[in-house]
């Protein structure tokens, strides 16, 4: 089948040992091998179309130049974007990426970690699902380089993370909507098992209480599995209750929620203001331009790769990077009709 050229082939061809060939092709031959021979070896390598066997290299060097990437779902817009940035940054450092999706399943996650380790990845970037603190502790205690992205596990100390300040992001959303005259906002979110989602909700709640003096801010939690069935009635009842702006906590929820507005021909922002978490190309086909919270996806990607590589290279200092978010204001949260200066 596939008979690739090995160091030995080059060595045989030129009647030298494999050692010289290895030295030369790795440019570690100064003061060892004559320039003349080095040149001939390089030429022969090119002529035979030699490419090193990374598997053999890896076995010997204990480095695979491979990063494991574990996310919730590669087909999810948010992740596929981050993944692209991680891919690009990894390539810059000559690393490859092997990935897997958890679908937020603890079991799948643990399997994936084990698979990655069996394949001797040099490190792992992961968005861990709930209930996996023990795995993170295991990785940490075994000094396996990893970076937690997007998520937080406050119960696990001394780990490396890259993410955003979800509390603050939501707080800023409320500040924005208050500034634009909205008085009765609601948040629609997924049933919050994950800490960062809880933070996102807390930011909204606290800001609503503090800035709008709402005693019990409206936060609707919907289970992911029944999202598309339940969101319609929930949205309609929010409208009936006089909610003047809805804040969707993720892209996916936003799509479903906006679909309800379209279906019932609810005017945005006149009847209901809208703010979404995360950017989407698709927002532009909605009839009103959408205000959204923009996460620095590229930075999350590049910082996490850099951090991981620094860990791989022996850095032992736990570090958390918290990146800022931006509110990109558009018409869906434009100054409210009922507002008055």
Partner DNA sequence: AGAAATTAGTTAATCGATTAACTGCAATAA
Partner DNA sequence: TTATTGCAGTTAATCGATTAACTAATTTCT
Instruction: Provide the binding-site residues for DNA, judged by CB under 7 A.
Output: 4, 6-8, 15-20, 22-23, 25-26, 28, 31-34, 36-37, 50, 52-53, 56-57, 59-62
141 interacts with, out of its own copies, DNA, none, CB within 5 to 8 A per kind: none
Contact between residue 338 and residue 181 where contact means Cβ atoms under 8 Å apart: yes
Is position 279 an interface residue for its own copies (rule: CB under 8 A)? no
How many Cβ atoms from other residues are within 10 Å of residue 228's Cβ? 14
Query: How far is it, in rounded angstroms, from Cα 248 to Cα 277?
Result: 6
Contact between residue 275 and residue 293 where contact means Cβ atoms under 8 Å apart: yes
* Short-list 161, 145, 158, 234, CA closest to 195: 161
Name the residue nearer to its own copies (CB basis): 34 or 287: 287
End-to-end Cα spacing for the chain: 78
- Residue 65's alpha-carbon distances to 29, 55, 113, 125, 313, in angstroms, are 23, 10, 17, 14, 11
Q: Which listed residue (154, 216, 242, 285) binds its own copies by CB under 8 A?
A: 285
Residue 121: CB minimum distance to its own copies, A = 10
Residue 327: CB minimum distance to DNA, A = 50
Which residues are registered as beta bridge partners of 293? 277, 327
Residues 49-68 that bind its own copies (CB under 8 A): 51-56, 58-59, 64, 66
Query: How far is it, in rounded angstroms, from Cα 136 to Cα 35?
Result: 50
Interaction mask 107-136, its own copies, x per CB under 8 A: -------xx-xxxx----------------
Name the residue nearer to DNA (CB basis): 45 or 186: 45
The footprint of its own copies (CB under 8 A) covers 1-2, 4, 51-56, 58-59, 64, 66, 73-77, 80-81, 83-84, 87, 91, 96-101, 114-115, 117-120, 142-144, 255, 258-259, 262, 280-287
């Amino acid at each position: 089948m596939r008979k690739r050229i090995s160091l030995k082939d080059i060595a045989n061809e030129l009647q030298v040992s494999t050692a010289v060939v290895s030295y030369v092709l790795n440019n570690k031959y100064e003061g060892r091998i004559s320039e003349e021979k080095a040149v001939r070896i390089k030429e022969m390598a090119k002529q035979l179309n030699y490419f090193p066997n990374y598997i053999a290299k890896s076995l010997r060097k204990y480095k695979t130049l491979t990063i494991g990437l574990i996310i919730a779902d590669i087909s999810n817009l948010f992740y596929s974007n981050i993944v692209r940035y991680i891919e690009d940054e990894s390539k810059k450092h000559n690393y490859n990426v092997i990935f897997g999706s958890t679908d937020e399943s603890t079991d799948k996650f643990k399997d994936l970690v084990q698979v990655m380790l069996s394949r001797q990845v040099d490190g792992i970037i992961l968005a861990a699902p709930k209930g996996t603190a023990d795995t993170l502790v295991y990785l940490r205690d075994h000094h396996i380089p990893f970076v937690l992205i997007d998520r937080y596990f406050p119960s696990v100390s001394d780990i490396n993370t890259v993410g955003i300040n979800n509390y603050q992001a939501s707080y800023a959303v409320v500040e924005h909507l208050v500034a634009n005259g909205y008085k009765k906002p609601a948040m629609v979110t997924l049933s919050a098992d994950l800490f960062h989602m809880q933070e996102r909700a807390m930011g909204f709640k606290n800001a609503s209480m503090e800035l709008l003096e709402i005693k019990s801010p409206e936060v609707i939690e919907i289970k992911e599995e029944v999202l598309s069935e339940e969101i319609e009635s929930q949205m309609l009842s929010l409208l009936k209750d006089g909610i003047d702006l809805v804040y969707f906590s993720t892209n996916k929820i936003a799509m479903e929620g906006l679909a309800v507005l379209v279906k019932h021909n609810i005017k945005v922002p006149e009847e209901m203001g809208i703010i979404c978490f995360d950017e989407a190309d698709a927002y532009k086909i909605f009839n009103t331009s959408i205000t959204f919270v923009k996460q620095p996806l590229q930075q999350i990607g590049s910082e996490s790769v850099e951090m991981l590589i620094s860990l791989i290279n022996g850095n032992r200092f736990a570090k958390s990077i918290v990146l800022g978010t931006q509110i990109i204001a558009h018409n869906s949260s434009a100054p409210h009709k009922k507002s008055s200066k």
